[in-house]
Amino acid sequence: MKLVINALTKTYPNGVKALNGIDLTIPKGMFGLLGPNGAGKSTLMRTIATLQDADSGSIFLDETDVLANKQAIREKLGYLPQDFGLYPRISAEVMLDHIAEMKGVREKKDRKYLVESLLTKVNLYQHRKKALGTYSGGMRQRFGIAQALAGNPSLIIVDEPTAGLDPSERNRFYNLLSELGENTIVILSTHIVEDISTLCSHMAIICQGELLMEGKPQDGIHELKDRIYEKSIQKDELPQYKDGYRVISTKLIAGRLSMRVESEIPLENGFAPAKPELEDVYFSHISRMVDPVTI
Ligand code: ADP
Ligand code: MG
């Protein structure tokens, strides 16, 4: 199974070009869509989820033309939107039962079994009677996954699922997602590099509607071999370094700036070679479109 996206373009009525000729092949397993806010991630995901139309281009899930066969895709799809609204007074159990009914599970006892197994899977069974409005951020996202899984989907789309989760909630959520990938396509969007390095076998980087990189995280890292250097500088020295070097990221450490620079030629003068990381891949690519270093 694979999802093949070709020349997908979308311009909103206000003139914003959210997708600019996106070509992407998404294999089975966990696929990470990485990009800064406004990159076009949600637009792409809503388009794949058949919730909004593109201006041009195509999406195929194997032989099925997604944009021409919306209903066929919806039956295979589990979707967790970025802004996932919940009915605050309804319990998880009642809500899931309702969702399962909408997804076509007619028999009450089948739904009861399905709801119990979903709630167990996302570790919310003991909280099933609680009103959704009382759930923490992590519980809410896990409930979101439960509802996305309700129709036994083979294509799962989760839009920025880890935004706003604390570190332990995020870990629990990673564990849950990493169990899904086997026989499904899971597309996860995020602006958090760690989400990708923890979960995804394949990835893409998009920025301002353009595809900047597609492949395995490890391949992206390998491309930067012997090209990343690190140097600690004073904050006010940064502008002069930005003039002379490709500064891709900076971190403030105890009042000094630790700066990372990409260079094809070996650097001296206090620069130390650094082991490339996925974060360098991200900043290296988006620095072609936006200045990644603004402090
Ligand atoms: P991301 O999910 O990566 O943050 P989005 O797909 O939400 O990106 O947005 C991409 C661009 O399109 C942004 O510039 C955003 O402001 C714009 N945009 C998104 N939705 C709409 C809309 N309904 N109308 C107009 N502009 C939009
Ligand atoms: Mg978004």
Do 140 and 210 fall within a single domain?
yes
Tens digits of residue pLDDT in 110-144: 999 999 999 998 999 999 999 999 999 899 999 99
Per-residue tokens: 128: 């099933």
Least confident of 157-166, 202-211, 279-288: 157-166
Do 185 and 237 fall within a single domain?
no
128 within 8 A of 93, measured Cβ to Cβ: yes
Task: Please say if the pLDDT value at position 173 is more than 90.
Answer: no
- Name the pTM for this structure: 0.93
Domain that holds residue 247: 226-275
Tens digits of residue pLDDT in 3-21: 999 999 999 999 999 999 9
145 within 8 A of 176, measured Cβ to Cβ: yes
Strands 210-215 and 228-233: unpaired
For residue 292, is it within any domain? no
Q: How confident is the model at residue 265 (pLDDT cuts 50, 70, 90)?
A: very high
Return the best residue to mutate from 37, 43, 191, 212 for the ligand 1 pocket (most ligand atoms within 8 A of CB).
Answer: 43
Give the pLDDT score at 51: 94
For residue 143, is it within any domain? yes
Give the pLDDT score at 170: 87
The set of protein residues with a Cβ atom below 6 angstroms from ligand 1 is 12, 14, 16, 18, 35, 37-43
What distance in angstroms lies between residue 85's CA and the mean position of ligand 2's atoms?
Answer: 15
Do 171 and 82 fall within a single domain?
yes
Give the pLDDT score at 295: 56
Q: For the chain, how many structural domains are there in total? A: 2
What distance in angstroms lies between residue 206's CA and the mean position of ligand 2's atoms?
Answer: 12
Do 65 and 170 fall within a single domain?
yes
User: What is d(CA 115, CA 96) in angstroms, rounded to the nearest whole number?
Assistant: 6
Nearest ligand for residue 34 CA: 1
